[in-house]
Amino acid sequence: MNFEFLGEYWHYFVDGTKVTLLLSIFTVVLGAIFGTLLSLMRLSGLTPVRLLATAYIEFFRGTPIIIQVFLVYYSLPQLIEGFRFPPFPFLEQYGGEFTAAVITLALNSTAYVAEIMRAGIQSVDKGQMEAARSLGMKPWMSLRLIIIPQAFRTVLPALGNELIVIIKETSIVSVIGLGELMFNADTVKGSLSKPFEPLIIAALIYLVITFTLSKLVGRLERRLKRSHA
Amino acid sequence: MLNIKNLHKHFGKLNVLNGIDMEVDKGEVVVVIGPSGSGKSTFLRCLNLLEVPTDGEIMFEGISITDKKTDINAVRQKMGMVFQQFNLFPHLSVQDNITLAPRKLKNYSAQQANETAADLLRKVGLSEKAKSYPDQLSGGQKQRIAIARALAMSPDVMLFDEPTSALDPEMVGEVLDVMKKLAKDGMTMVVVTHEMGFAREVGDRVVFMDGGVIVEQGPPAEVFTNPKHERTREFLGKVL
């Protein structure tokens, strides 16, 4: 093992890490918002809405994410004449690939978050909704102020797990040539003909990110628990 | 104030309410008693449409709340409800439990809402608990906070669904005391309860329900000492 190449190639890993983190942040935020909305659709009393949400969730949970990436990245431009993924606002340097990657990862994460939030919402006692409604709150306000905060607290460990999964799964978008951590490690590997060392560096960086986040989530969990002990 | 006509509620094939007619006047305290499964809780829950009646009409302050066009959310703001299981919001402090609805629905400022909450907490004797969370309270304290929360919307009527049934015996008194004070202040109340002492002492009228109908009603002194119906006698014989 010899890591001397880092002296010359370190910026590949720094740049890659930056892209990986940006991808993860956008995916988490979009996944959390749309996942929560989808979980409400999944619990809707309207059968067509519920079926649509269920179909969405089953598709994105039941097919490999690598296929989803290819489907979004290659099929949209084929289906729509002249369509190209526009560069992501403020991150134009990463090209349309970044946009396609965020869209795919967010579509995928939405499905997982929806299932987590559904379980959380169902775990809230139905008396909570009745109390909110009996005060005169409308359904949406009751969900927003009473049900979802409690559901969120219950499923925080599962959401933390999803966060870590997302960070690792961003590596899949290296297949469309976006220069995130995995892609850059691969680039270094190719140009040096060193099979292991660049991958070990990348793995360590992923580990540092996920480990830090799992500690932060753990701390948040303890704080929320204390605040309504 | 409340005018209920021919109220029916069916759950599938199960007929829980089979035609209830009742009037509740402003300032009146109506206590609903009856054996388990008599439909008294369902009846109460129909009054603010937590259960949607199968048939019949409920008028509240001249508005038909069973009419689909009525904005039930606006009506509910005038009807406070207290539950057997308290249903306090566990993620909010006592103060936020009380102020949430006035702030969000009546556009109270934070200060205005906090002042209201302080008044109500004094009324239920729990001023020192404003910053506590529901998990830190005893059952009796929770129920008193739940009453304060409902009162924060300044309702015209208060509905109580077996408010002391989930309490340890030594905490029943403190909740009933708050309810007595409320009755004395002239609040209109409909109370479903097993507390016969409360019914006798505070009720202006006692309603005995069985099998989804009102079997007998009248002033407590009359119903308790001289029940007219065999079923009322039988029930009172068991619980008194």
Please report residues of A whose CB lies closer than 8 A to that of B153: 135-136
Nearest CA in chain B to A132: B101
For chain B, how long is the longest CA-to-CA vector?
A: 56
Eight-class DSSP state of A72: I
- pLDDT per residue over B61-72, tens digit each? 999 999 999 999
d(CA B174, CA B124): 9
Count of domains observed in chain B: 1
| Euclidean distance between CA atoms A82 and A66, whole angstroms | 24
SS3 A71: helix
Long-range CB contacts (< 8 A, 24+ apart) of A87-91?
A91/A22
Binned at pLDDT 50, 70 and 90, residue A223 comes out as: confident
Phi, psi of B236 (to 5 degrees): -65, -35
**pLDDT for the residue numbered A81:** 86
* Interface membership of B160 toward A (CB under 8 Å): no
pLDDT tens-digit series, residues B145-173:
999 999 999 999 999 999 999 999 999 99
Whether residues A134 and B73 touch (CB distance < 8 A) is answered with: no
Q: What is the pTM of this model?
A: 0.89
Name which of A130, A131, A141 is nearest B104 (Cβ-Cβ): A141
How many Cβ contacts (< 8 angstroms) between chains A and B?
A: 66
Give the closest residue to B34 by CA, choosing from B167, B199, B187. Answer: B199
Total residues belonging to chain B: 240
Q: Test A127 with B85 for CB contact under 8 angstroms.
A: yes
Question: Model confidence over B80-128: pLDDT tens digits?
Answer: 999 999 999 999 999 999 999 999 999 999 999 999 999 999 999 999 9
CA distance A155 to chain B (A): 14
Cα(B97)–Cα(B53) distance, rounded to whole angstroms?
29
Taking residue A198's Cβ as centre, other Cβ atoms within 10 Å add up to 24
Domains of chain A: 6-228 (1.10.3720.10)
The verdict on a CB contact (< 8 Å) between A134 and B76 is yes
Tell me what ipTM this predicted complex has. 0.94
Query: What is the structure's pLDDT at B119?
Result: 97
The label of the residue with tokens 């499923």 reads A155
The confidence band for A82, taking pLDDT boundaries of 50, 70 and 90, is confident
Q: Which domain holds residue B167?
A: 2-237
**Of B76, B91, B133, which has the smallest distance from its Cβ to A135's Cβ?**
B76
User: Which of A130, A153, A227 lies closest to B87 in CB terms?
Assistant: A130
Q: What is the dihedral of CA B108, B110, B116, B122, to 10 degrees?
A: 170
Beta-bridge mates of residue B158: B80, B189
Q: How confident is the model at residue A228 (pLDDT cuts 50, 70, 90)?
A: low
The least confident of A48-62, A74-88, A174-188 is A74-88
Mean pLDDT value across residues A195-207: 94
**Which of the pair, A13 or A1, is modelled with greater confidence?**
A13
Contacts of B114 (CB under 8 A, 6+ apart): B95, B99
Provide, as residue numbers in chain A, all residues whose Cβ is less than 8 Å from the Cβ of B160. Answer: none
* Contact between B88 and A134 using a beta-carbon 8 Å cutoff: no
Q: What is the CATH classification number for the domain harbouring B219?
A: 3.40.50.300
Q: Which of A128, A136, A227 is closest, CB to CB, to B74? A: A136
Mutation target vs B (from A121, A128, A130, A134; most B CBs, 10 A cutoff): A134
Contacts with B150 from chain A: Cβ below 8 Å: 134-135
Structure confidence at residue A194 as a pLDDT band (50, 70, 90): confident
> Does the beta-carbon distance from B79 to A227 stay under 8 Å?
no
Measured at the CA of A96, the angle between CA A110 and CA A19, to 5 degrees, comes to: 70
Dihedral angle of Cα A61, A62, A65, A69, to the nearest 10 degrees: -100
For B105, phi then psi, to 5°, come to: -105, -25
Residue B1 has pLDDT above 90, yes or no: yes
Instruction: Band the pLDDT of A227: cuts 50, 70, 90.
Output: low
